[in-house]
Amino acid sequence: MQGYIYPNEFELQWSLLIVLYPYITGLVAGAFILASLERVFNVKEVQPTYRLSLLTALAFLLVATLPLLAHLGHPERSYEIFMTPNRQSAMAMFGFVYAWYLMVVLLVEIWFDYRKDMVAWYRDSKGFKRWLYYALTLGSTDISEKALRFDDSAGRWITIIGIPSAFLLHGYVGFIFGSVKANPWWSSVLMPVVFLFSAIVSGIALVLLLYMITTLFRWRPINMACLDKLAQFLFYALVVDFSLEMLDFLHRLYESEESIEILSQMIQSRLFLSLIVLQILLGTVIPLVTLGLFSPGLKRGGFVKVRPEAKQLVYLACAVLIQIGIFSIRWNVVIGGQLFSKSLRGLTVYKVEFLGIEGLAMTLGLLFLPFVILWILVKVLPPWTDQEVGRLAKATG
């Protein structure tokens, strides 16, 4: 403890689980927006990651509410959000946004995209798998040309609707923090936009990681055209995200309110490692410079010419560093906003527990769970096809 702290400010109300919550929802939004690049904006280079992006968004969306439920004292009462909705509460309305995005956007789009394949798997399978795929088709086994055209058209329109839905899904988290006028660390009109672009960055980086890892585990060649395009979009999104964060920081300095002194002390002491080292240096500056040199974002083929294998390692390292940086952003916002007193005269500390409902073990478990769900989804609905594998082999020569 440092300075003057009221007794009710010793213990932080929002812990590591609330840090995890916006991190996971950001991955959902970012992965879906990446999928829309191929479906809506016709970016054919990222086509090998289209279905993987959808399944990734679904896997993480199924876990997105669990940190909040674990944080609640009585999670069994969460259904009351839908039974007695409060339209003036942003947190309460998130339940409806979540249900809309899960039931209408993601599940319906995945169903339309996979329906033809599910019918084929139903006809080729036997036993339990045959009935499983038939149940997933919902009895719709018509794969005529007219039916497939309808599937493609409906899926495209759902994706278009899903883009603003993804913005709303994660932008509202930043809206909640930015609306807390009493907290100078949170109160900013740029908070929802910063959250949104950092979500895009984290989602693209995650899909890039998953695409490389799953392709290598399947002993398939990596499509460098796809990887370069992912790195290019990642670079552009990171530029915008970092610019917005710096703009927000400069605006705070220009205002020079009475809170600037305590915020400066907090940055120099409590948040130096997570903000300066992890978020800005390792999570932003190093990946930004590296992607600018190696990816074709500023110059065709990149400024630095290396073998494809070396470039793959560079992209992999950048994606990992970016994930560390984005998680640090969530930490610095959620935890950082609670480290200084309301009187702006003192700082407290937050110690992470290992066990307990809000400890490190629970957080790691919830962070690992989406990957287990994704593994199951990939087993049931493979995101790659034999035709895709043939294109990958041809593209990489």
* Greater model confidence, 151 or 304: 151
Residue 395 lies in a domain: no
pLDDT of 168 reads 81
Spatial contact of 15 and 71, defined as CB atoms under 8 Å apart: yes
Output the domain CATH number for residue 264.
1.20.1630.10
Question: What number is the average pLDDT over the span 363-381?
Answer: 95
pLDDT of 337 reads 83
DSSP letters, 357-381, are: TTSHHHHHHHHHHHHHHHHHHHHHS
Could you give the number of structural domains in the chain? 1
For 159-201, write each residue's pLDDT tens digit.
Answer: 898 888 888 877 777 778 777 776 777 877 788 888 889 999 9
Q: Determine how many CB atoms are found less than 10 A away from the CB of residue 135.
A: 11
Per the structure, the complete domain to which residue 359 belongs is given by: 2-387
**Virtual torsion, Cα 372, 166, 187, 251, nearest 10 deg:** 110
Whole-number CA gyration radius for the chain: 22
Tokens describing residue 161: 């609707």
By mean pLDDT, which of 110-114, 127-131, 176-180, 266-270 is the weakest? Answer: 176-180
Q: Say if residue 75's pLDDT is above 60.
A: yes
- Cα 103 to the chain's mean position, in Å? 19
Residue 392 lies in a domain: no
Residue 22 lies in a domain: yes
Spatial contact of 174 and 196, defined as CB atoms under 8 Å apart: yes
Sequence-separated (6 or more) residues with CB below 8 Å from residue 191:
174, 175, 177, 178, 248, 333
Residue 191 lies in a domain: yes
By mean pLDDT, which of 51-55, 254-258, 286-290 is the weakest? Answer: 254-258
Q: Which amino acid is at 170?
A: H
How many Cα atoms are found within 13 Å in the side-chain-facing hemisphere of 317?
A: 14
Q: pLDDT-derived band of residue 4, with 50, 70 and 90 as boundaries?
A: low
For 119-128, write each residue's pLDDT tens digit.
Answer: 999 998 888 9
Q: Which residue do the tokens 């500056």 mark?
A: 285
Q: pTM here?
A: 0.90
Q: Which amino acid is at 236?
A: Y
For 316-327, write each residue's pLDDT tens digit.
Answer: 999 999 999 999
Spatial contact of 82 and 61, defined as CB atoms under 8 Å apart: no
Distance CA 18, CA 30 (A): 19
Residue 301 lies in a domain: yes
Q: What whole-number percentage of the chain has pLDDT above 70?
A: 92
Question: What number is the average pLDDT over the span 92-97?
Answer: 78
pLDDT of 255 reads 67
Distance CA 188, CA 292 (A): 29
Tokens describing residue 163: 């883009």
Question: What number is the average pLDDT over the span 360-375?
Answer: 94
Distance CA 241, CA 204 (A): 13
Residue 264 lies in a domain: yes
Residue 269 lies in a domain: yes
Distances (CA, A) of 186 to 89, 173, 359: 18, 11, 24
DSSP letters, 239-273, are: HHHHHHHHHHHHHHHHH--TTHHHHHHHHHTTTII
Q: Which residue do the tokens 């940190």 mark?
A: 67
Sequence-separated (6 or more) residues with CB below 8 Å from residue 352:
16, 359, 360
Question: What number is the average pLDDT over the span 233-251?
Answer: 90
Spatial contact of 69 and 78, defined as CB atoms under 8 Å apart: yes
Tokens describing residue 198: 């950092």
Residue 297 lies in a domain: yes
Sequence-separated (6 or more) residues with CB below 8 Å from residue 47:
38, 226, 388
